[in-house]
């Protein structure tokens, strides 16, 4: 490569680094966020992208079910209540999304984190149900959400799996 091309590439890189104020994160993988609340979906997307992940956000059960069969992901976060009119824990749409992941058999390659405002109660323990019935890997309550714990969990899970897909954004 000619010297002037190398110099131009270095100057562009320096401008990007200075503009952001820090090194750009390495590409780590592709994450599906299934979340209907715009505040939460933006929070998760921003946190994941800051740490080098390519993020796809789906707001409804229907959108999530369509993409799960078409694309590969390194990690998925699922909110249980995707329709605010559904108040019964047993009818939350997130369960159907997780069932579809099980039906496709991709949960072994794609860790699932349930991130919900409805952890359940003594009668309806959603955390136990997520682990036992839907093979979720992680469970986090929105009320106890911690940005560092969240991103550390995702990074460790994806690095542990070390799965690479064609055109998956992972370096």
Give the domains, in start order, of the chain with CATH numbers. 25-161 (3.40.50.2300)
Q: Which two tokens stand for residue 126?
A: 């959603």
Average pLDDT, the chain: 79
Q: Strand pairing of 53-58 and 112-116?
A: unpaired
For residue 86, the 8-state DSSP code is -
Residue indicated by tokens 């409805």: 118
Q: What is the pLDDT of residues 45-70, one digit of tens each?
A: 999 999 989 999 999 888 998 998 78
Task: Report the C-alpha gap between 115 and 119 in whole angstroms.
Answer: 9
- Give the chain's count of helices (H) and strands (E): 6, 5
Residue 64's φ and ψ, nearest 5 degrees, are -65, -45
Whether pTM > 0.85 for this model: the answer is no
Strands of the sheet with 75-78, listed across from one edge: 53-58, 29-34, 75-78, 112-116, 138-141
Q: What is the pLDDT of residues 95-152, one digit of tens each?
A: 888 888 888 776 667 889 999 887 766 666 888 888 888 888 889 998 999 999 999 9
Burial class (CB in 10 A: 0-12, 13-18, 19+), 160: exposed
């Amino acid at each position: 490569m000619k010297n002037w091309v190398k110099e131009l590439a270095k100057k562009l890189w320096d401008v990007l680094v200075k503009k952001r104020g820090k090194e750009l994160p390495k590409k780590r993988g592709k994450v599906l966020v299934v979340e209907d609340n715009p505040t939460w979906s933006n929070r998760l997307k921003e946190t994941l992208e800051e740490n080098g992940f390519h993020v796809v956000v789906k707001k409804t059960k229907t959108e999530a079910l369509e993409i799960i069969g078409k694309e590969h992901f390194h990690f998925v976060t699922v909110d249980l209540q995707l329709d605010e009119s559904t108040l019964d824990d047993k009818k939350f749409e997130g369960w159907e999304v997780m069932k579809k992941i099980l039906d496709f058999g991709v949960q072994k390659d794609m860790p699932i984190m349930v991130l919900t405002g409805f952890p359940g109660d003594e009668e309806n323990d959603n955390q136990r149900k997520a682990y036992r019935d839907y093979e979720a890997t992680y469970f986090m309550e929105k009320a106890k959400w911690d940005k560092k714990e969240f991103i550390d969990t995702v990074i460790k899970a994806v690095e542990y799996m070390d799965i690479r897909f064609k055109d998956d954004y992972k370096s």
